[in-house]
Structure 1
């Protein structure tokens, strides 16, 4: 009989689609788990707003800040921030990031980056599978505009 850990790993990898013939009927019923049920998307980030304030000396612009928390192995969907200027500071953990047309970069606690208006953020992920990561993100945007737009699927 195949060991449960090995079989589960093969199921997760999509390599086993049938049950083991020698297993008793009750065990076969348990082992017939659809592959889709054992595989999943990586977890995603959560956003906690801090401040949203119209800039009194810059008509039509708003300052927004938020904490973006990444559980272990979390990855954000590719996205854009429209016409916003973005500043990101790593509060905790390590984050891998890539903007369209630029190399992948890794940022550790205390490091930061900026994104120009219209930048395509193709990768943002927590590099750790065991520890969370956290960013302070600051936007200067057109008042009333959406701060994050995910890429369409496909």
Structure 2
């Protein structure tokens, strides 16, 4: 577990240093530099055969999602609107531009669009073993 995480982080550092070296002494790529919106270290038993899934989730006005869990690490970024999420008993409020991380298997008792007349949208980014489900409905 630690070896895979260290290997992954080593690759990230090498990539970052390489990218930084490529841009040092040159004009910036964009007028506004990229902004990191979320950093999260993921403890992992191994990175072999890891799969990344990016999912757009659309919420109709006042829509509520059924209770569910994500068995793999989850990152989210709200693209538009405002959401309220009850995760492991704690209520979170997110608006467009907010990013978040959720540890595996936490209970989403409720996720809802707080607006009665505007849609909301988020992008969810999942990292896990190849072929593993990213969403499991909670048993009633």
TM-score, normalised by the number of residues in structure 1 = 0.59
- Poorly superposed stretches of 4+, deviation over 2 Å: none
Unpaired runs of 5+ residues, structure 1, are 1-56
- SS of the residue corresponding to residue 130 of structure 1 reads coil
Structure 2: distance between partners of 1:61 and 1:119: 20
Q: Counterparts of 2:82 and 2:106 in 1: how far apart (Å)? A: 21
**Aligned equivalent of 2:50, options 61, 77, 83:** 61
- Helix, strand or coil for the counterpart of 2:64? coil
CA distance in structure 2 between the aligned counterparts of 1:63 and 1:147, rounded to whole angstroms: 10
Q: How does 1:22-41 map to 2 (within 5 A)?
A: none
Alignment equivalent of 1:139, drawn from 126, 129, 138:
126
Secondary structure of 1:104's counterpart equals: strand
Compute the RMSD of aligned alpha carbons.
Answer: 1.4
Question: Residue 85 of structure 1 corresponds to which residue in structure 2?
Answer: 73
Structure with the bigger RCO (C-alpha within 8 Å, sep 6+) is 2
User: Partner residue of 1:148?
Assistant: 135
Q: What CA distance in whole angstroms lies between the structure 1 residues aligned with 2:130 and 2:68?
A: 19
Query: Structure 2: any 5+ residue segments left out of the alignment?
Result: 1-45
Separation of aligned partners in 1, 2:62 and 2:137: 19
1:147 CA displacement: 1.0
1:60 Cα deviation (Å)? Answer: 2.5
SS at 2:117's partner residue? coil
